[in-house]
Structure 1
């Protein structure tokens, strides 16, 4: 246990922040998995879910939960997947 009052406060706030970050990171992973699962169902559903997933990635990066380059890389990979799906459907 900390001896200094400010250290006690920091311990409480960091514990709360850790829980918030863990929750946000978990929701982010769930959103990405949901998007990847809908890729099989069709482009329209996937595009709708892509917007929500990208929004969550941006918010997580803005909050400092993940690095902004990590968010950009994940968004890029998701976009590549949906573009490949569009190309496959256009080729048929």
Structure 2
């Protein structure tokens, strides 16, 4: 454990940020799973509305730097493909 005052504060701040980041990422994953579950049950209308909120969550995680830009785009693309494949 650190004994310098600034190092102690840095440990505390890092832990706070880690917990906040963890909740944002968990929320993003939950919305992605919700869309995938709706696609599995072939509920197109609800899947589209859930997709819109999932995209917002993914974009917010990318904006905060929690997820790489390419990974965010890949997740959105795969979800869109699933929804489009369902309606086609």
TM normalised by structure 2 equals 0.92
Distance (whole Å) between structure 2 residues aligned to residue 42 and residue 3 of structure 1:
56
User: Which residue number corresponds to residue 72 of structure 1?
Assistant: 73
Aligned length: 87
User: Which residue number corresponds to residue 33 of structure 1?
Assistant: 33
User: Which residue number corresponds to residue 20 of structure 1?
Assistant: 20
Three-state SS of the structure 2 residue aligned to 1:74 is: helix
Indicate the structure whose relative CO is greater, using CA pairs within 8 Å and at least 6 residues apart. Answer: 2
User: Which residue number corresponds to residue 83 of structure 2?
Assistant: 82
Runs (5+) with no aligned partner, structure 2: none
User: Which residue number corresponds to residue 52 of structure 1?
Assistant: 53
* Runs of 4+ residues deviating >6 angstroms: none
TM normalised by structure 1 equals 0.88
**In structure 2, do the counterparts of structure 1 residues 41 and 84 end up closer, same or farther at CA, with 3 Å as the change threshold?**
closer
Runs (5+) with no aligned partner, structure 1: 88-92
User: Which residue number corresponds to residue 90 of structure 1?
Assistant: none
Structure 1 residue 8: Cα displacement? 1.2
